[in-house]
Structures are given as structure tokens and as C-alpha cells.
Amino acid sequence: MQEDYLLSIKNVCKSFAGVTVLKNVCLNIRPGTVHSLMGENGAGKSTLMKCLFGIYKQDAGEFFLEGKQFNFTDPKHALENGVSMVHQELNQVTKRTISDNIWLGRYPTKGLFIDEKKMHNDTLDLFKRLNIHLNPKTRLDKLSVSQRQMVEIAKAVSYDAKIIVLDEPTSSLTAHEVEMLFAIMRVLRDEGVGIVYISHKMEEIFEVSDDVTVLRDGTHIGTEKIEDLTMEKIVNMMVGRDLDDRFPPKTNVPEGIHMSVRNLTTKYAPIVKNASFDLRKGEILGVAGLVGAGRTELIEAIFGARTTESGEISIDGKLIDNSTPNKAIGNRFALLTEERRETGIYPVADITFNSCISNINEYKNRFGLLNDKKMKADTDVQIKSMRIKTPNRRERIRNLSGGNQQKVIIGRWLLTQPDILLLDEPTRGIDVGAKYEIYQLIIDLANRGKSIIVVSSEMPELIGITNRIMVMSNGHVAGIVNTDETTQTEIFNLSTKYLNNNEEAEV
């Protein structure tokens, strides 16, 4: 019976533009538990939670909170009734303080004025409860993405929520910060809060979950207690088949040196210092390192997206000028950025625009007009070849799941026919099935002679798909190792090579 559950969702259906994304989905959350919601990108996880939170209106189905039926008309209505949601995409007022963001729209007052002292003290009390160490007077634009994530979680807790939905909360967190989040979740669970946890990271699911529900193609596949599950069983439920190997076989065979980087140094902090390495034709070169090691800064400098102070880049022995991204694209480079929502997609534009924008000059005729027919045809090819789940090419990219957004961006760069691909965290926030497809795509590109650099924080990923791994440490290249001959211990030791004794490393 639904009164036995803190939250009960019954037979929810939802369609967009005639495409059904939820089909009679059910979900029951017990009080004082972490209930993980899993499924491939496009399975309907976020859509279901947005229906719960009042962002979408379901076509059919019922919601019960503590046995009482409800339908929230908007997020404010949900928050006022004990349901909070921390979205994958943070929506904050970055020019205001932490306290302002937490209490926005419900400031404590003293007469006609905001009671700043009470707001400050209430924030401190909240942070003490959650073991968060931040100054409430700090402006959000002075915080890291991970710190902003913690503020958003504290805001959700501040509503005295009975249900808190966490949608991919660890996608931008370090290992240390993930542990901090899990500690907060355990405090809330012990207080009787029900937590709906959406994540693609299997290790996290087994660490924090009490129950797991799997969706596939908008349908409820099953709900099990975590002790009755294995990683293999979850994967099978998610993709509908056994996934014996997490990584495709590495069939690419690197040949002669294609690109050489010599003494590359960036101008502004965080600084890359005298980085030198070679990239072979048809090679997948991984880049490992601790947070702040300069991995992202290195590939941004190679692509001309970060100002350099010195250094040279040559292709097939010939010096090139990659001082701007446009020049890099002209030299047949492509960059997949780490934060796709901030620097990768045009959220309000459709898939056609997002697919063709980097190659836009190829669609102009002699009068400077765009060939709409060719743009549509190329977009349709990318949707089919990348297996992008979308109603049609006219869908706004912000309406797609994170994994499908990533596929659109990769397809966009492939239309420019690059020779060198720089991929920064290419599978962040992507489910295990879609990850395999992207790994296979990367290996296929290497087989076609493309040279690829992959920056990743996931060590198994680097070891699973690369030929060599370059380790960064405090802006320096600490070493380059053959993937098949190295260990995670060796990589970690290299990553600490140039750290000062008083610097705290975070993996």
C-alpha cells in the first residue's frame, strides 16, 4: 500500500511531440533510504523526476506523498510541500552570496527589511549540520563548480524536504568531495529523508544505495534491494543484454609521429609549464593527473582556446599556428570540452544547428546562403550513425539527455573531418551502454588514422581504451607510459611528482 512508502509513483506516462518517453512507470521510496534510479541516457529518469517536481505535467498516472495523492503545479509548490530536486544543470544567481542563493524568495525579515544576521546564522547552522565549510558571505562566482553543487544541496535540505532528488550530483566532484556528499546523504537518510539518487557510476550505486530501480526505454524494468544485485545484473537490466566487456578491443595500430608539442607554456594560471610530447598517427593518448594538474589547460592551449606564452606545435614536422580556435579548426583539430552545458551546446537551438555550426562554411553557396537541405541531410546521418535518441532533428538540444547531447557534439566535430581530436572527459554523465558506443567510436576513428587525446578522471577508462597515458603533475608532464605495461599505482605516483609538500592532492 502506498501509505507504507514515503513516496509512491503509480503508472506515470509522458509523451513529447508524439514520442512516448514514460510508459506506466512505477516507483516506491521507503523512508530513510537512498533509492538509486538507473537506466541508459534517454531511459526517462530525469523526465520522471521532472514530472514529480512539477516541471512537466504527466499525461497519466498518480503521485502519493506519505499516502496522500498530489500533483505539484510547479517547483515552488513541490518545495513548499517537502520535495526538493538538485538538478544536473545548476541554476543559481552567481553574482549573489551563498546565503542569498539559499534563502532566495524566502528571506527572513525584521520589519520591512531583510534580517541579514538571521540569514547568515541560519546558513551557518545548516552548514554545521551538513559539515560544509564555506563562508555564507562568499559570492557564488568565487566558488568552484563542486562547491556550488554543495550549496545547491544545502538549499534543498533547507526546505526540510521529505524527498530529495539528486540528479548526477557527482559529475563535477573530486573523490574527496564525493565522500563529503555521501556523508551528507547518510545524515539525511538517518533523519528519515528519502533520497532519489540518479547516477551512471556503478561504484557509487553500490556504496550508497539501499534500493535500485532500473528504467529502460521509458518502462520500469525492475526494483531490487542492493544486496540482491551485482554490477552485471544492473547492466543487463539497463541495456537488455549482457555486457561482458566494459571496453571494446583496442584494434588500432599507431604509426609514425603525427603531432609534436614542444615546451608549451600557458600565460595565465593554472599554468602548463614546458609541456613536450609526441602524438602518433592512429594513436589514442590518455591524459591523467590530479585535480588542477593542467590536463584541460593543456588541450585548450593546443586548440588555441587558452593563451600561450611559449612553445611550438608541429604537424608531420611542419610548424603550425594554433593561436585561435578558428586557426586550430583550419588545421583540422577538434575539441570536445569538459563542460558540455557551459561550453559545448547551444541549448535553445535545435539539433541541426548544433550539429552543423562548427562546419557552417561548408553549407554556404556562392551567394553566401545556407544549403538547408544539405544541413538536414548531414544531421540525419549523424542522428542515425550516433544512435541519438530524439523525436526529430528540430528538437532543441537542451531537451535531450546528457549522453545524447554528447553524441551530437561529437557528431558536430566529425563533420569538420578533423585529423586530431582532443576529447575532455568524453563520457562524463553517460550511462554504461552509451559509454561503450563512444569507446568504440573513438577506437574506430583511430583505426581510420585519426590521432586522439583523451583527458579523463576515470582511471579504468584510460587503461581500457588508450595506447599510452601521459601523466600531468602541477602543470608539468610527469611521464608517459605504455598503457598495457603500467599500473594505477605507477600513474598515481607520477601524478604527485611535482607537487610541493604543502599542497594537498585530490584524485
Q: Kindly compute the dihedral angle of the four CA atoms of residues 452, 456, 462, 468, in this order, to the nearest 10 degrees.
A: 50
Q: Are strands 60-65 and 68-70 parallel, antiparallel or unpaired?
A: antiparallel
Sequential DSSP letters for 206-256: HHH-SEEEEEETTEEEEEEEGGG--HHHHHHHHHSS----SS--------S
How many Cβ atoms are within 10 Å of 256's Cβ, its own excluded?
A: 9
Q: Which three cell numbers stand for residue 178?
A: 564525493
- The confidence score (pLDDT) of residue 241 equals 60
Q: Where are the chain's structural domains?
A: 2-239, 254-332+418-500, 346-416
- The confidence score (pLDDT) of residue 506 equals 40
Contacts of 373 (CB under 8 A, 6+ apart): none
Residue 141 burial (C-beta neighbours within 10 Å; 0-12, 13-18, 19+): exposed
462/468 Cα distance (integer angstroms): 9
Q: 15: part of which helix (H) or strand (E)?
A: strand 7-16
Cis amide bond preceding 249, omega within 30: no
Q: Is 288 helix (H, G, I), strand (E, B) or coil?
A: strand
Contact 423, 263 (CB under 8 A): no
Return the axis-axis angle of helices 116-130 and 145-158, rounded to nearest 10°: 100
Per-residue pLDDT of the chain (507 residues; tens, 9 = 90+): 445 899 999 999 998 767 788 999 999 999 999 999 998 767 888 889 999 999 999 999 999 999 899 888 888 899 888 899 988 667 788 899 999 999 988 888 988 899 999 999 999 999 998 888 899 999 998 887 778 888 888 888 888 889 999 988 877 677 777 888 888 899 899 989 999 999 878 888 999 999 999 998 889 999 999 999 988 888 888 877 655 577 899 999 999 999 999 999 998 776 899 999 999 999 999 999 887 789 999 999 999 999 999 999 999 999 999 999 999 999 999 998 877 767 778 888 999 999 998 888 888 888 888 889 999 999 998 888 877 888 889 898 888 877 788 888 888 888 888 999 999 988 876 767 778 888 988 999 999 999 999 999 888 899 999 999 999 999 999 999 999 999 888 998 898 888 764 343 343
**In Å, how far are 175, 356, 388 from 372, measured between CA atoms?**
46, 10, 20
The verdict on pTM exceeding 0.75 is: no
87/502 Cα distance (integer angstroms): 35
**In Å, how far are 54, 93, 210, 492 from 84, measured between CA atoms?**
11, 18, 20, 38
- The confidence score (pLDDT) of residue 503 equals 41
Contact 496, 505 (CB under 8 A): yes
In angstroms, how far is the first alpha carbon of the chain from the final one? 45
Q: In the CATH hierarchy, which fold is given to the domain comprising 254-332+418-500?
A: Rossmann fold (3.40.50)
How many Cβ atoms are within 10 Å of 470's Cβ, its own excluded?
A: 25
466/455 Cα distance (integer angstroms): 10
Contact 277, 470 (CB under 8 A): yes
Q: Which three cell numbers stand for residue 233?
A: 545484473
How many Cβ atoms are within 10 Å of 452's Cβ, its own excluded?
A: 25
Q: Is 420 helix (H, G, I), strand (E, B) or coil?
A: strand
219/206 Cα distance (integer angstroms): 23
**In Å, how far are 166, 229, 286, 335, 378 from 467, measured between CA atoms?**
36, 33, 8, 20, 31
470/490 Cα distance (integer angstroms): 12
- In the Cβ-directed half-sphere of 118, how many Cα atoms lie within 13 Å? 9
- The confidence score (pLDDT) of residue 500 equals 60
- The confidence score (pLDDT) of residue 277 equals 97
Q: Do domains 2-239 and 254-332+418-500 have the same CATH topology?
A: yes
Contacts of 472 (CB under 8 A, 6+ apart): 287, 288, 289, 293, 294, 295, 298, 478, 495
- The confidence score (pLDDT) of residue 4 equals 81
Q: Write 272-275 long-range contacts (CB < 8 A, 24+).
A: 272/297, 272/298, 272/301, 272/475, 273/475, 273/476, 274/311, 274/476, 275/311, 275/475, 275/476, 275/477
Contacts of 225 (CB under 8 A, 6+ apart): 210, 211, 212
Chain centroid offset of residue 456 CA: 12
DSSP-derived letter for residue 327 is H
Supply angle C-alpha 427, 431, 432, rounded to 5: 90
460/483 Cα distance (integer angstroms): 11
15/94 Cα distance (integer angstroms): 34
Amino acid symbol at 32: G
Residue 227 burial (C-beta neighbours within 10 Å; 0-12, 13-18, 19+): exposed
Q: In the CATH hierarchy, which fold is given to the domain comprising 2-239?
A: Rossmann fold (3.40.50)
Beta strands in 135-229 (DSSP E): 163-167, 194-198, 211-216, 219-225
Q: 376: part of which helix (H) or strand (E)?
A: helix 372-385
